Amino acid sequence: MAIYHEVTPRRTFMGKLKFGADLLEELTAVCVENDIRLGRVEALGAVRQARIGYYDQQAKEYDFHEMDEPLEITKLIGNISLRDGKPMVHAHITLADSEGNAYGGHLAPGTIIFATEFIITAYDGPDFVREYDKPTGLPLWKL
């Protein structure tokens, strides 16, 4: 059975991120600066290069793919919770190349911003804390 809690939107932040910066680091910095411990993140724009991951369920590890080319962010969606007492952005991203081919996966450090606009909604509710989950090998919410 699903385990869940009701949360309430509290604040919403909209803005653009710094050219040439790391996408995941910039989103995380907004959360740290504003003490966002629970939330949702969305973004669109473009990156100069990308690094995305695919989780190998058998090996219980990420396989990362690097793309050293300009790409459009067609969708970035994620959540914000706590890991080791600090805000953590967990996001997935879909990117498109100049031919319209799409690539997607887990947003990883190494994705460099060309132009990115974001929306972060912070919620009031209980802390969602990430802890090691033995069956999956992932840091999942302990609710």
DSSP state of 28: H
Q: With residue 78 as reference, give the H or E element that holds it.
A: strand 71-83
* Rounded distance between C-alpha atoms, residue 116 and residue 104, angstroms: 17
- Residue pLDDT, tens place only, 10-61: 999 999 999 999 999 999 999 999 999 999 999 999 999 999 999 999 999 9
* CATH classification for the domain delimited by 11-142, as one of 3.30.1330.80, 3.40.1010.20, 3.40.50.80, 3.40.50.720: 3.30.1330.80
109-124 pLDDT, tens digit per residue, is: 999 999 999 999 999 9
Domain ranges in the chain are 11-142
pLDDT at 46: 98
pLDDT digits (tens, 9 = 90+) for 72-97: 999 999 999 999 999 999 999 999 99
Q: Could you give the CA distance from residue 55 to residue 121 in angstroms, rounded to a whole number?
A: 27
C-alpha to C-alpha distance for 103 and 93, rounded to whole angstroms: 8
pLDDT (tens digit per residue) in 123-135 = 999 999 999 999 9
